[in-house]
């Protein structure tokens, strides 16, 4: 009998060991590339919650700086070594990846009905869902340091004249008025979009896309002139300052204002947990309306060559539900899931309020104006250094517009 129980225990142990090995072997590991190192702590927590609820799936996240992600991803896709999940920019970029067979068609496989209408519209590209904005959307406005403004008796500016007056007052006191890292042209491109949108508003921007309005119209050229005029407000060496470096400078209080998005706040807090900032729409061209611009965060697609499409789709669907969406809005940026609001984040609430007066979709998400962003990046330095007039700058941007047929 003793030998029987000894054998039974050995067999039981072996079966338990085999079961454990089987479970480990069955565990699915998904690789994921994203372009926001400043979000890593927040995204890791979201992933940990998913893994807690889905113990048979492990997500291996690699955060790659946005400026490096595209090049690295293109190389990996060409070599057939891309991750299971990766971030792409909505619009033509996603459409091209779908047409090339690099990503799965998620139409009907992911339920996006719980997203805001804007997010649903953005996810649907030419009738198909190739990529889903799971990490929310962003609104871009003007951040300002509460203490600097209070200590100097200043109020956030609402138009160009007020902005230049605030800039002078700060400069006269030895305070850098605005952090504007312009090395890669991202900040100048967003500045121009908001300045032009303060004139055009949503309807006028739609007219630019159909050719009814032009960026060379005199009232829109005023936006290019505004962009040129504020250059002296930037920090010293702004043309050689990288985007991530500039955001860190602002978070540390080295400047009074920064054009920034809702998604930037998480990075500010990571750099300086005690940061105290307010948010307003970007001051308008005189005679216009203060503006914000809103777009979708890098959205996630599933590699068409993944060995685990069902698990990858499950993760995307989980990110759209309210639990994950609440974590996104509380720690990263605005949520695209309906009915989700910040729990306790005054800056995020101010950004939402700022977008209620004159908010225009980011231009690069549309095929007609997608190349304008790059045109600003390519020509902003010449504009700042007055090697190009506002009229010449505007002509370069208009040449990048590909108007659709007006309906």
Q: How confident is the model at residue 145 (pLDDT cuts 50, 70, 90)?
A: very high
DSSP one-letter code for 276: -
Q: How confident is the model at residue 406 (pLDDT cuts 50, 70, 90)?
A: low
Q: Which domains can be identified in the chain, with CATH numbers?
A: 25-132+298-332 (3.40.190.10), 138-295+349-399 (3.40.190.10)
Distances (CA, A) of 188 to 13, 184, 256, 344: 65, 9, 17, 31
Q: What is the mean pLDDT of the chain?
A: 90
CA dist., res. 49 & res. 307, Å (int): 23
- % residues pLDDT > 70 (the chain): 93
Could you read off the pLDDT of 23-76 as tens digits, one per residue? 445 899 999 999 988 889 999 999 999 999 999 999 999 999 877 888 899 899
Phi and psi at residue 344, to the nearest 5°: -160, 75
Q: Which of 83-97, 240-254, 288-302, 391-405 has the lowest mean pLDDT?
A: 83-97
Please state, as a whole number, how many other Cβ atoms lie within 10 Å of the Cβ of residue 37. Answer: 16
CA dist., res. 396 & res. 201, Å (int): 21
Q: What is the pTM of this model?
A: 0.78
């Amino acid at each position: 009998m003793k030998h029987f129980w000894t054998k039974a225990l050995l067999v039981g142990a072996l079966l338990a060991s085999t079961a454990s090995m089987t479970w480990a072997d069955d565990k699915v590991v998904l690789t994921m590339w994203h372009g926001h190192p400043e979000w890593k702590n927040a995204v890791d927590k979201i992933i940990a919650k998913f893994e807690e609820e889905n113990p048979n799936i492990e997500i291996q996240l690699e955060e790659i700086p946005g400026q490096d992600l595209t090049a690295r991803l293109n190389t990996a896709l060409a070599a057939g070594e891309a991750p299971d999940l990766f971030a792409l920019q909505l619009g033509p970029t996603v459409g091209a990846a779908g047409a090339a067979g690099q990503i799965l068609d998620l139409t009907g496989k992911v339920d996006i009905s719980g997203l805001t209408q804007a997010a649903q519209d953005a996810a649907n590209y030419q009738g198909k869902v190739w990529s889903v904005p799971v990490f929310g959307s962003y609104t871009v406005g003007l951040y300002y340091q509460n203490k600097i403004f209070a200590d100097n008796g200043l109020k956030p500016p609402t138009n160009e004249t007020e902005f230049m007056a605030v800039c002078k007052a700060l400069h006269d006191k030895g305070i850098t008025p605005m952090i504007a890292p312009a090395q890669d042209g991202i900040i100048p491109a967003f500045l121009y979009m908001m300045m032009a949108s303060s004139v055009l508003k949503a309807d006028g921007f739609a007219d630019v896309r159909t050719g009814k309005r032009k960026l060379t119209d005199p009232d829109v050229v005023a936006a290019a002139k505004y962009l040129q005029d504020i250059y002296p407000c930037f920090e010293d060496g702004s043309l050689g300052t990288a985007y991530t470096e500039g955001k860190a400078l602002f978070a540390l209080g080295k400047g009074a204002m920064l054009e920034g998005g809702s998604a930037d706040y998480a990075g500010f807090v990571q750099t300086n947990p005690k940061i105290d900032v307010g948010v307003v729409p970007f001051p308008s061209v005189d005679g216009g309306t203060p503006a914000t611009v809103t777009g979708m965060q890098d959205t996630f697609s599933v590699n068409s060559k993944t060995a685990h499409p069902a698990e990858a789709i499950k993760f995307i669907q989980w990110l759209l539900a309210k639990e994950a969406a609440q974590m996104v809005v509380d720690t990263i940026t605005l949520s695209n899931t309906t009915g989700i609001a910040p729990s306790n984040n005054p800056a995020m609430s101010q950004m939402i309020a700022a977008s209620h007066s004159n908010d225009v979709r980011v231009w690069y998400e549309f095929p007609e104006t997608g190349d304008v962003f790059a045109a600003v990046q390519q020509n902003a330095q010449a504009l700042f250094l007055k090697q190009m007039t506002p009229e010449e700058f505007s002509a370069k941007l208009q040449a990048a517009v590909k108007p659709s047929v007006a309906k």
